[in-house]
Amino acid sequence: MLNIWQNEKKYLPLHVFMEYNMLNIVIFGAPGTGKGTQSELLTKKYGLHHISTGEILREEIERKSPLGLLADQHISRGHLVPDELMIDMLADILDKTANTKGYIFDGFPRTIAQAQALDKLLNERDTAVVAVLSLKVEEQELIQRLLKRGRESGRSDDKLEVIENRMKVYKAQTDPLRDYYKKKGKLFNIPGSGSINDVFEEIVQEISRLSF
Ligand code: AMP
């Protein structure tokens, strides 16, 4: 079963479609790799449901909800919000959006515990992660992109001290997930330093090789 994702086939055999049931994609990468931008394009093209956990947390902070106030303490330092909160939040979203053709997971999972929880939550819904698209960009370029975004959008965690922490957290806690998904044959590396359209083209090609 696992080898299906690594072989030369340009389409998914019917039984794989039947097994996965939905097109669930994790868009993966360090802060600033363009996950949000690419997720929005993918959402439009394939009619999927975009789940950006960072975006949801920022809305909670804006509303000053109890979750927002708690999350802000972690986000403003460049730390991760505790797994338990994130997993509960995701379970709730999955329950509320059950009728979608598939999900784009953007910013989730960020730890091994979250990846295991995602597998379990999807399995309970008779589906699974189909592919993890891992965007790769040099760290210096990422820092420049995030500083620019901070100047333009005023996003409070896009300032140098916090960015440096987010990079450390990414390397220690999130990057190991590449191995987790590689072992499952679900990891696809995408060069992320080209233009938005070029990166999107690469992603679309990778998806077309997976399915249809
Ligand atoms: P993002 O918009 O994806 O860059 O997320 C912004 C911040 O929200 C991160 O630096 C974390 O502090 C927090 N966050 C978002 N998603 C998660 C997650 N899955 N687990 C823990 N913290 C998260």
Please give the order of strands across the beta sheet that includes 187-191. 49-52, 103-106, 25-28, 131-136, 187-191
| Per-residue pLDDT at 14 | 54
Whether 107 lines ligand 1, by a CB cut-off of 6 Å, is yes
| Per-residue pLDDT at 22 | 87
Smallest CA-to-CA distance from 80 within 164, 149, 165 is with 165
Q: Which amino acid is it at 150?
A: G
CA distances from 197 to 65, 124, 138 (A): 37, 36, 19
Lowest mean pLDDT among 7-21, 29-43, 86-100, 136-150: 7-21
Which atom of ligand 1 is nearest the CA belonging to 90?
19
Q: What is the mean pLDDT of residues 128-154?
A: 96
Residues paired with 105 in a beta bridge: 26, 51
| Per-residue pLDDT at 71 | 97
Q: Is the pLDDT of residue 84 over 60?
A: yes
C-alpha span between 126 and 81 (Å, rounded)? 28
- Name the pLDDT band for 1 (thresholds 50, 70, 90): very low
Q: Which CATH number fits domain 9-206: 3.40.50.300, 3.40.50.1820, 3.40.1030.10, 3.40.50.880?
A: 3.40.50.300
Q: Which of 136, 155, 178, 184 is catalytic?
A: 155
Residue 67: what are its φ and ψ, rounded to 5°?
Answer: -65, -40
C-alpha span between 160 and 151 (Å, rounded)? 11
Residue of 75, 87, 143 with the most ligand 1 atoms within 8 Å of its CB, for mutation? 75
Residues paired with 104 in a beta bridge: 25, 50
pLDDT in tens, 3-21: 343 334 444 445 545 667 7
Angle in degrees, 0-180, between the axes of helices 196-210 and 35-46, rounded to the nearest 10: 50
| Per-residue pLDDT at 6 | 38
Q: What is the mean pLDDT of residues 67-90?
A: 97
What Rg value do the Cα atoms of the chain yield, rounded?
17
